[in-house]
Structure 1
Amino acid sequence: MQSPITLTVNGEAKALPAPASVADLLASIGLDGRKVAVERNLEIVPRSLWPVTPLESGDELEIVAFIGGG
């Protein structure tokens, strides 16, 4: 069994079981993927690539939620 992946998500440390993808991270946090944008190591990750974008220890992610209003 592999060691957990240690990430920084929105400035906070988070550990996930390895292997993990961006989609796995969002599922573990419980976020609706239709309402967020994800940046990994200063690069935007297109939604279509979330399931195949692997996460590695040391990655820094920013997740931004879209909020509607008027």
Structure 2
Amino acid sequence: MRNIVRELREQKGWSQGELARRLGVSRQTINAVETDKYDPSLPLALRMALLFDVPVPSLFMDDWKPEQLK
């Protein structure tokens, strides 16, 4: 799953440590999310969306397509 967390964080001028502090997680967690090594839990994704004032789906993109259900 790809995400735009790094881009949004950089737009705010925050370090990974600052974003981690604001979200109540470790800097390592932020690094893992930004490098697509960790998909955040739903509560963390919701906190990120609220902090950046964007909908959760705009933060995270999946390669899955609805037609794959057919």
Which structure features the higher share of strand residues? 1
- Shorter-chain TM-score above 0.5: no
Q: TM-score, normalised by structure 2?
A: 0.31
Q: TM-score, normalised by structure 1?
A: 0.31
Which structure features the higher share of helix residues? 2
